[in-house]
């Protein structure tokens, strides 16, 4: 089986994104760590899971081809019939999709930087959970390299491209004097942290953090010199702009204050609420400026796919050589043990000769059997390969003489033809 055939038969991507299932439905597909571990125990192979606010993607490298069974298990975890929404890629198509994600081509904001760090974090988490191994890790390492190269060699990430940056940029467009307004961030998790960091980078200081967990909220507020308050939706009208980044079971009405709700699903509703869907539309306008760069990124991705095949070939080579050397070492150790016993009874030279002959016979016997079969089946390519290997790439004297004679005859016949 060739390297490409192996990749095409063993590598899968089970994908749910904001494009395929929508932002509101995506929240139903998220997997907790214990669910990921349970899923990993459901099949034999390697796995990684990439989960962001815009996607839930499972990557599998396995001989277990019944991914319908994996989808059924996902359905069991979700307790809803939602796995039918999965988009499934296989082989080089799955690898291309991963590279496109790493390059930022599949993001809501084309060229965003955040996705690259999220992919890197996903493989780190997979290693900690012991669900990945050398094949998945090799594929993801190449994806990260492709993502970095795209950003280095193109302008696809030029300007504000991350969803958090887009959220702040939209607020700045709606409220011109944002630096003189009261700003509220609801949520002190990863998304709230990103928004706080961007606001701080702009120099905005009139910012308050609201969070259910006091310690986490105060920690984020202290980090950037902001204020902290306990989560209280009755106070939302005290602020000019609100960024929401939490999960909440019920909808909150907001008609007087501008709210940018990047929660998934959104929790605010009202005439002044901007949802992830609207951010997506705003982002698409910005993306038009980068579309001209995508063809460069696609070329880099194509190069990355070729490099991935080379990576996997090197991995396969290392496996084969390791197996051969391990077997040779086993033979060597057994022969050394036998020789040490024989040295007590026989002459040293005889024992060493006997040991070396036995080692050569045991090491070479599998290949010699293959040569026997090749001779019977007239497999000249294999035979010639063996001859080249054991004559240091040179033809033997008898074979050289034969070819020289044949070439002389050809020249003689050619000369007669010219006459």
Beta strands in 118-236 (DSSP E): 183-186, 207-211, 227-230
| Nearest CA-CA partner of 9 in 74, 92, 87, 73 | 92
For 256-282, give the DSSP string. Answer: SSEEEE--SS--EESTTEE-HHHHHHH
Report the alpha-carbon distance of residue 83 to residue 87 in Å, rounded.
9
Sheet strands side by side (includes 87-90): 45-52, 55-62, 11-17, 87-90
DSSP state of 213: S
Sequence-ordered list of residues with C-beta below 8 angstroms from that of 133, at least 6 positions apart, any chain: 46, 61
Q: Please report, in angstroms and rounded to a whole number, the separation of the first and last CA atoms in the chain.
A: 52
The tokens describing 387, both together, are: 């001859």
Report the alpha-carbon distance of residue 294 to residue 288 in Å, rounded.
10
| Residue whose pair of structure tokens reads 């940029």 in the numeric block | 169
Report the alpha-carbon distance of residue 290 to residue 281 in Å, rounded.
15
Q: Rounded to a whole number, what is the largest CA-CA distance in the chain?
A: 108
By the 8 A CB rule, do 108 and 18 touch? yes
Radius of gyration of the chain (CA): 32
Q: In terms of DSSP bridges, do strands 207-211 and 252-253 run parallel, antiparallel, or are they unpaired?
A: unpaired
| Nearest CA-CA partner of 129 in 10, 17, 39 | 39
Sequence-ordered list of residues with C-beta below 8 angstroms from that of 162, at least 6 positions apart, any chain: 109, 112, 113, 114, 194
Report the alpha-carbon distance of residue 76 to residue 39 in Å, rounded.
10
Concerning whether 53 is annotated as a catalytic residue, the answer is yes
Taking residue 314's Cβ as centre, other Cβ atoms within 10 Å add up to: 12
Q: Exactly one of 7, 23, 53, 115 is catalytic; which is it?
A: 53
Active site residues: 53
């Amino acid at each position: 089986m060739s390297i490409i055939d192996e990749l095409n038969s063993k590598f899968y991507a089970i994908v749910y994104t904001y494009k395929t299932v929508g932002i509101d439905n995506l929240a139903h597909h998220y997997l907790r760590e214990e669910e990921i571990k349970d899923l990993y125990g459901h099949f034999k192979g390697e796995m990684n899971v990439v989960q962001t606010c815009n996607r839930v993607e499972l990557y599998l490298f396995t001989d277990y081809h019944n991914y319908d069974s994996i989808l059924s298990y996902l359905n069991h975890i979700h307790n809803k019939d939602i796995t039918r929404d999965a988009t499934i890629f296989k082989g080089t198509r799955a690898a291309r999709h991963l590279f496109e994600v790493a390059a930022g081509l599949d993001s809501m904001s084309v060229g965003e930087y955040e996705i690259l760090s999220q992919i890197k974090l996903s493989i780190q988490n997979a290693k900690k959970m012991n669900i990945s191994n050398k094949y998945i890790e090799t594929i993801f390492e190449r994806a990260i390299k492709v993502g970095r190269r795209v950003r280095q060699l193109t302008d696809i990430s030029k300007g504000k491209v991350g969803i958090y940056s887009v959220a702040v940029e939209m607020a700045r467009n709606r409220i011109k004097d944002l630096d003189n307004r009261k700003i509220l961030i609801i949520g002190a998790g990863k998304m709230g942290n990103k928004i706080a960091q961007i606001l701080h980078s702009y120099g905005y200081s009139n910012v308050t953090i609201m969070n259910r967990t006091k310690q986490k909220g105060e920690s984020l507020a202290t980090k950037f010199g902001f204020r902290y308050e306990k989560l209280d939706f009755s106070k939302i009208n005290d602020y000019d702009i609100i960024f929401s980044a939490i999960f909440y079971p019920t909808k909150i009405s907001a008609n007087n204050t501008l709210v940018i709700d990047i929660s998934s699903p959104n929790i605010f509703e009202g005439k002044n609420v901007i949802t992830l869907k609207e951010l997506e539309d705003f982002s698409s306008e910005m993306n038009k400026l980068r579309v001209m760069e995508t063809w460069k990124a696609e070329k880099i991705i194509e190069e990355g796919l070729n490099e991935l095949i080379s990576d996997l070939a090197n991995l396969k080579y290392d496996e084969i050589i390791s197996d051969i050397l391990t077997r040779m070492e086993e033979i060597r150790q057994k022969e050394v043990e036998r020789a040490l016993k024989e040295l007590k009874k026989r002459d040293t030279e005889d024992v060493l000769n006997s040991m070396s002959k036995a080692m050569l016979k045991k090491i070479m016997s599998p290949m010699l059997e293959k040569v026997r079969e090749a001779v019977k089946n007239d497999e000249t390519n294999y035979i010639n390969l063996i001859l080249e290997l054991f004559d240091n790439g040179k033809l033997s004297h008898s074979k050289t003489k034969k070819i020289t004679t044949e070439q002389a005859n050809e020249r003689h016949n050619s000369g007669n033809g010219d006459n």
